[in-house]
Homo-oligomer: A and B are copies of this chain.
């Protein structure tokens, strides 16, 4: 088993924080890939990650496991404690709901905003759509007010304990800095949650 990952990239960071929260990041064999040097586009890398996605978890011969959340699902099975994805059907479904709301409603809006507006993405994202960047920005700004309200009613995103949904929000907020969006500066519940989670050893850089 080997994890191919990248530094300073949001999806690889979701897996890294997940493994750090499990306390097993240092035990997993890893190889760092440079996206800037296009190391994820070599024929050799594509054998394990045919869509050039990073991260990928090599499990044996042939193609490996991609999609950060699916990699987390695998590690949740391998290292069940501390539980981050739910213990029974209701909890698993509730955590998945909140994780998806963060990912689809906020994280992806930040991605749409960044990829379609940032000069650093001009080469990777062809064509960029300034119009879509603007629509995504508006949706990100609207979505975060919903999550701020949620965090006034619950201590953590999915309820009364820390889960993968908090990791996804943590990564998404960090990702937003690249478009200078720091919603915790104007949303008090979000700011309080951010203080609560940022002291966790598992969420350290």
Contacts and interface: CB of A to CB of B under 8 A. Distances in A.
A129 B135 CA distance: 9
Interface string A77-121: 110000000001110111011001100010000000000000000
A133 to B, nearest CB: 10
A77 B92 contact: yes
Copies of this chain in the oligomer = 2
Nearest to A150: B50
Contact of A96 (B70, B97, B132): B70
Given A129-B131, A129-B132, A96 B73 contact: yes
A50 to B, nearest CB: 7
Contact of A69 (B70, B88, B100): B100
A51 interface: yes
Contacts of A73: 89, 92-93, 96
Interface of A is mostly: helix
B146 A97 contact: no
A29 interface: no
Measured as residues with beta carbon below 8 angstroms from the partner, the interface class of chain A is 20 to 34
B96 A69 contact: yes
A89 B78 contact: yes
- Which of A93, A129, A132 has the largest number of chain B CB atoms within 10 A? A93
A71 B105 CA distance: 17
Contacts of A93: 65, 70-71, 73-74, 77
A176 to B, nearest CB: 19
A65 B94 CA distance: 7
Residue in A76, A97, A135 whose Cβ sees the most chain B Cβ within 10 Å: A97
A146 B74 CA distance: 24
A108 to B, nearest CB: 9
26 contacts: A50-B146, A65-B97, A66-B97, A66-B101, A67-B97, A67-B100, A69-B96, A69-B100, A70-B94, A70-B96, A70-B97, A71-B93, A73-B89, A73-B92, A73-B93, A73-B96, A74-B89, A77-B88, A77-B92, A127-B131, A127-B135, A129-B131, A129-B132, A131-B131, A132-B132, A132-B135
